[in-house]
Amino acid sequence: MIRCLAIDDERVALDIIEEYVNRIDNLALVARINDPVEAINFLKGNKIDLIFLDIQMPQLSGIEMLETFAELPPVILTTAFHEYSLKGYEFNVVDYLLKPIAFSRFLKSIRKYENMLSERQTSSGFLEVKSDKRVHKISLKDLYYIESLGNYVIFHLSNKQLISYVSLNQLTQSLPSYFLRIHRSYIINKQYIISYNQENIEIKNKYLPIGRSYKDVIEKINF
């Protein structure tokens, strides 16, 4: 579960963020705070994964708050003013949302955050997978292949299977180069290939088809 904090001096803006967060299963709004000074104190004693931060606030602006902390959880900036966007990107924020915020644009920011998170995880050799209302930390070296199942995917591991709500396209972009997309329904770990031909690849006693649009994947296999 992604623990979120919303910081904004406008109640209506906080209501919108809360409504949008509640629409997404893997997000939880831990707190909504309208005072940036109070938010600073809250962050000192609470674990937060993602902050929605308004830029223009009394006492302390969102930009000044970013300058105050040596390190903050990932931040998505929100504001009604275009001119602040470039300033916000100086702090390497996840995204910048212009008010009034449409849900589709909000969702795009969350996907961007999730992609960033996946890239960080996979670079360390591990991946966090949400399955059965739990978060599982899996080692990529134990992952044989990933199979699409409608809006879900199955992670086929050395000792179990996990079903998770995530797109195969999203995983393709974040996994290391030794994972290959061979079909619209399959990503494989090429370290576990037993045999192959132009039609299919054998992994873990399974023959997985090579899609017509993925025939060039053969050139990327090295025993």
In this predicted model, what pLDDT tens digit does every residue of 100-149 receive, in sequence order?
A: 999 999 999 999 998 888 777 776 788 888 898 888 999 999 999 999 98
In 10 A of CB 137, how many CB atoms? 9
Angle subtended at Cα 65 by Cα 40 and Cα 67, rounded to the nearest 5 degrees: 125
Model pLDDT, residue 83 = 62
Average pLDDT over residues 165-169: 83
Q: How far apart, in whole angstroms, are the C-alpha atoms of residue 102 and residue 123?
A: 32
For domain 126-220, is the CATH number 3.40.50.300? no
Q: Between 1.10.10.10, 3.40.50.920, 3.40.50.2300, 3.40.50.150, what CATH number should domain 2-120 receive?
A: 3.40.50.2300
Read off φ and ψ for residue 143, nearest 5 degrees: -100, 115
| Greater pLDDT, 98 or 177 | 98
- The tens digit of pLDDT for each residue in 86-107 reads 555 556 689 999 999 999 999 9
Q: How far apart, in whole angstroms, are the C-alpha atoms of residue 162 and residue 40?
A: 38
Model pLDDT, residue 190 = 93
Model pLDDT, residue 72 = 82
Domain extents for the chain?
Answer: 2-120, 126-220
Query: Fold match between 2-120 and 126-220?
Result: no
pTM: 0.64
pLDDT at 223 over 80: no
- The tens digit of pLDDT for each residue in 16-67 reads 999 999 999 889 999 999 999 999 999 988 999 999 999 989 888 888 888 8
Measured CA distances, 11 to 70, 109, 143, 219 (Å): 28, 21, 45, 56
Q: How far apart, in whole angstroms, are the C-alpha atoms of residue 84 and residue 105?
A: 18
- pLDDT category, 203, cuts 50, 70, 90? very high
